[in-house]
Amino acid sequence: LLAERRCEAMVVITSGVGSRVLDAARRTAAESGLRIAGVLGKPFTMDEVKAFLSRHSGPVARPRVPVRDQAEPTEEELRSGLDHGELVLAFQPKVRCEDGALAGFEALVRWDHGGTIIYPDRFIPLAERTGLIDQLTEVVLRDAVRWLATHFAEAHVAMSVNISARSLSAHELGDRIFDECRANGLDPARLILEVTESSAMHDPHRSLELLTRLRVRGFHLSIDDFGTGFSSMVQLVRLPFSEVKVDKSFVMELARSQESRAVVRSIVDLAASLGLRSTAEGVEDAEALAYLREVGCTLAQGYYIARPMFSEAALAWAREWKGLA
Ligand code: C2E
Ligand code: CA
Ligand code: CA
């Protein structure tokens, strides 16, 4: 909240939770652009506070990451962008870990705003707040379905699309996507709808109903950003998912972190024992890929394989791609 409100004040983080946790909190706060004076573990004495304050009373360097350096787009701008076809898709390949064979693409939306490319983190929250997300989801689904149907006849090449929690609860969503698939002669089973762990668990009862409806239609469901939420395993296994996407925060750290390796291995094992495929996103180096193969992860997605690319570049990539050695 402080970061969102562009808080300029210096912040001291204090708690009795222990230094590892305090350190994590400090990093998070600094990464969101807050000015962190330091951490103060509890319990502390008045003398310690005095010493701390006198150490930190001078000017503190500005944070490395500016909170917001560009003006936020407004609702009007986004609405106009949607109406004028300024939302375009980038496609990022997903390949099989074992041999690198192409398994599909994830559609990632970009806003081409007068030649400036704006990334989704800057406007998806706005779209969700203002209700424009339903229109956005529709545009993305339509374009993604058409692109796949036009360029990839192979049944094993799938298309993953991100669905916001808000759009998920729109009852007509299933019908709309189904119609779009039919109009393009695309088997619904080639479409994977990605829902984040946190959004699926917000109202597990209702999610179960909505997700089951979609699954019955034939779409596949993927649980995105897995490992970042606080879901109960019991709840998760009740939901009709076909894929688990291991969050990139763990995958990016595979080469360096023992903890991340343990987390990734157990998520991949959990998925396998439930009969689900696992996709690791954020594969940035050969070490990560090697580890994923070792633990039997199904698919890999990340800069090491390819970045998200606009249509032409993605098609050229697919023509050239020879798999992994
Ligand atoms: P996400 O679904 O977790 O998408 C993966 C993000 O990780 C993408 O960022 C992608 O570019 C990035 N990524 C892929 N490989 C790597 C890698 O090797 N290293 C690193 N560091 N990053 C990698 P992007 O495109 O900026 O999307 C951000 C988020 O915006 C997405 O996260 C998704 O939650 C949301 N989003 C994107 N498109 C849509 C959409 O059409 N609808 C909705 N509702 N949300 C969308
Ligand atoms: Ca995703
Ligand atoms: Ca993700």
Say how many Å lie between the CA of residue 178 and the centre of ligand 2. 20
Half-sphere exposure of 284 (CA within 13 A, CB side): 10
pLDDT given for residue 302 in this prediction? 98
For the beta carbon of residue 77, count every other beta carbon within 10 angstroms.
17
| Structural tokens at position 54 | 């006198």
Nearest CA to ligand 1 atom 41: 109
pLDDT given for residue 145 in this prediction? 97
The Cα 225–Cα 242 span in angstroms is 14
pLDDT given for residue 202 in this prediction? 75
User: Is the pLDDT assigned to residue 201 strictly greater than 90?
Assistant: no
Nearest CA to ligand 1 atom 14: 302
pLDDT given for residue 209 in this prediction? 85
Q: Which of 135, 248, 304 to mutate to test the pocket of ligand 1 (most atoms within 8 A of CB)?
A: 248
Q: Which residues line ligand 1 (CB under 6 A)?
A: 92, 108-109, 119-121, 124, 140, 162, 164, 224-225, 248, 252, 281-284, 302-303, 308
Nearest CA to ligand 1 atom 17: 282
Q: Quote the pTM value.
A: 0.81
For the beta carbon of residue 263, count every other beta carbon within 10 angstroms.
20
Q: Are 110 and 120 in contact, with CB atoms under 8 Å apart?
A: yes
* Angle of CA points 1, 195, 70, to nearest 5°: 40
Q: For the residues 133-152, what does the mean pLDDT come to?
A: 96
Q: Which of 108, 112, 310 to mutate to test the pocket of ligand 1 (most atoms within 8 A of CB)?
A: 108
Of all ligands present, the nearest one to the C-alpha of 125 is: 1
Q: Which of 130, 193, 281 to mutate to test the pocket of ligand 1 (most atoms within 8 A of CB)?
A: 281
Of all ligands present, the nearest one to the C-alpha of 128 is: 1
Q: For the residues 102-130, what does the mean pLDDT come to?
A: 95
